[in-house]
Structure 1
Amino acid sequence: MFVKFCLQHKRLLLHLIFWGICLTILTFMFAVGLPGYFLAFKLVLMLFPIHVAYYYTVSTVIIPKFLYRRHFIALALSFILACAFFTCCYRLIEILFADPYLFKQLKPLNPGFKWKKIEGTISEQFFNGQYMIHALEQSNSIIWGGLLIKFVGMWYDRKQMALNSELNFLKAQIHPHFLFNTLNNLYALTLNNSPASPKVVLDLSQILRYMLYECNTDYVPLKKDVEVIKNYIALEQLRYGDKLDLNLKIKGEITGQQIAPLLMIPLIENAFKHGASEMIEEAWINIVLEVEPNAIKLKVSNSKPLEKHQGHRSHFGKIGLANVRKRLELIYPETHHFTVHDEEDLFAVILHIESISNVSASSKVKNTPIHSSFTKLTVENKGL
C-alpha cells in the first residue's frame, strides 16, 4: 500500500524530500553560534515560507511564462523584481519576528547583552544596507540550488526525449526495410505460382504483428525476438530452398532475458540480401547465437561472390547495418562490441552485448530446449 502511494505521488514526495533536506541544512547553518538546534529550527521555520514562495514563484510562474517562450528581457526583469521583493519580505520577517524572538531567547543568558541589529526604528533597520545584503544572501541561498536541480532535470528529460525520438525513428526504418525485402520474396514466389505463397503471407503477418504491437517498448523478451528471427529465416528458406546451405546454432537458455527489439534481424537480413541473393551457387549462411544470463553474442557469416569483391560496396554501408550500429550506440553505449569482417570469400558480423536485462523469475515461461549442434533448417507446415 505504501509503495503504491509513493508511486502515485512520486513528484510530491520528491518535493517534500527536497524541502526536508533544505530545512535540515538551514537549521545546521543557523545553529552555529546559537545555544541549541531547536532554537535554530524555530528561527528557520519563521523564514522558511519565503524560500518556498520564492522558489515556486520562479519555477512555476516566471520560468514557464518567459523562459519557455524565449522572452529573455522579461525573464531577466522578472528575476530582478522577484529577487528584490522576496529579499524585502525576508528582511521584514527578520525585523518583525525572527530577530526580536532571538533577542528575547538570548537576553536571559546574558543580561547585559545588546544587539545592534535590532536597534532603531523599523524603517532604520529595514534600510540598513549591511543587513539588507545579508537578507539578499540568505533569501537566495536555497532557490538557486533548487533551480539548478530543476534545470538539470529539464536537461535530462529533453535528452531522453531526443534519444527516444531518434530510437523510434531508427526502429521505424526497420519496418519498411524489412517489409520491402519480404514482399520481394513473396513476389518471386507468386510469379511461379508457388503453393508456399499463403504460408509466406501468414508468417509475414505474424512478424508484422510483432513489429507493430509488441516492439513499442524499450525491451522485449529475447525469446520473442528469436522467434521472429526463426519466422524470417523460414520465409527466406522458402525462397531459396536447396540452393542455400543455411545453418543455425543457438547455445544457452533464451527464456528470462530482455533485449532491445529488432537488433539482430537486420544482421541476418543483410546476410540474405547481400550474400545468398547475389550468388548463383554454393551460397551458405551460418548463424550462431550464444546466450548467457547477462550477455549475448551473435555471429552471422555468409558467402559472397568472388567476382564482385573488387570494387563491390561494403556490406557495412547498407542501411540495415548502419541502423544497427547507431541503435547500439544509443541503447548500449558502453556495453557492446560490434565488429565487421569483410574477407575475400565471406562476410561476417559479430555482435556482443555484455549487459542485457533480466525479467523476474515469476514471469519466465518454459521454453523448449534448443539443440546446440548445427542443423540443416527445413520448413514444415507449422514453421521451422
Structure 2
Amino acid sequence: MTNFQSVTSARLIRHMLLWVGVWLFFRYVNFGLYISDSELVINTLTAVTFGQTIGLFYLFGYWVYPRYLYRFRFLWFSLFVLLAYYFIYLSSYLTTYFLQQTSPDKDPALLSQVEKSWALIQPAGIVGCFTSVSVAFWNLNNFFYVTLLLGGKLVKDLFMSRTRTLLIERDAVDLERTNLALERDNLMLELNLLKSQVNPHFLFNALNGIYARVVDVNEPAAELVLRLAELMRYNLYEANVPQIDLADEIAYIENYISLEKIRHASLVDVIFSADGDFTGHPIAPLLLIAFVENAFKHSLGAGPNSAYVLVDTQLEDDTFYFTVQNSLPQQPQQPTAKKSGGIGLVNVQKRLALLYPERYTLDVRQTATSYTAVLQLQLGSTK
C-alpha cells in the first residue's frame, strides 16, 4: 500500500467513526431522551437531522470554505450561510408537517415535541425563520450541530494552513541556502576553470610549434604530436557546446586510442571498429571517452599476453551502439594515492539519465577476467 493510499484509508476511517458517533448522539441522546414519541418519529427526525448535518458539512467544508471563505469572498459566503440556514428550516418544516399527523392524540399538557414544534412554526409558514424571532431561535437549535462540526473543521483547516505555511517557509530558507551554496560552488568552479585554461591553451600552441619543427625530421613523432593537439583542440574549442556531431566524437575517441596504442604498444592489444555513417547525428560531447579511459586504466596489469581493450561503435538508423570491453588483471591493482581526473563512469550515468531519459540502456557486466560496458542510445538526426 502506498503512502497516499494509507493516508486516504486512515482519513476515511476517521470520517466513518465521526458520523457513526453523530448518528448515535442524534438517535439516543438528542431525540431519544427528550422526545416522547413513536420510534417512527424518532428515527425520522434522526435521519433528517443527520442528513442535514452530513450534507452541509461536506458542502461547506470541502467546497464553500475553499472557494469562498478562504479566498475572502465574504459576501458569497454569507449568502451560502443564509441558504443553508433556510434549507435546514424548510426541510425541518416539511418533516414536522408530515410527522405531526402521525403523533398520537394526547392531553394538551402532554403534547409531543413534534406537535409543539408544529404549533410554533405552522403560523409563521415556510419563511418563518426570517419573520419570527421565536421560530428563528427554534431553527438555530437545528442549525447548531452542523455549525459546531464546521467550526471544528475551520479550526483544523487554519491549523493545517499555518503548519503548511511554516513548512513552506522552512523549505524556502533551505532552498535559499542551497542556492547560495550552488552559487558559491559555481564561482569556485569558474575560478578553477579559468586557472586550468591557462596551461591547456599554452600547451596547445606549443604543440603546434613542436609539430612544425619535427614533421620533416620524425614523421611518427609528428603524427603523435598532431593527434595530441587534436585532442586538446576538441576539448578546448569544440566540446563547449550542448551537442556535437557524432562523427567528431568518434574521431576524438580514435585519436585518444591512437595515443594509448603508442603509450602501451607492448602491454595492451587494442582493437577499434566503427560501422555506420556517424555524420548528422548530434550527441552530447565527451560522453563516451570515460568508458575508454576506464578500459585502458583497468586493463593494464593483466599481463603482456592477455591485456586487451576492445572498442566497437555501430550506428543503425538513429540507434547508436557503443561497446567497450577490457581485460582485468589477475591480481587487483593497488589503489593509487592520486585519483584519476576523468569525468568518471558515475557522472556519465548521471549525464545519460539527465540528457537522454528513457532513450538509453547501459549494460555493465564484469567477470573475473573482463569488464564490459554496452551503451545503446537513441539519437536524433540533422540530415
Whether TM-score is above 0.5 comes out as no
Question: What TM-score comes out, normalization by structure 1 length?
Answer: 0.43
Which structure has the larger Rg over C-alpha atoms? 2
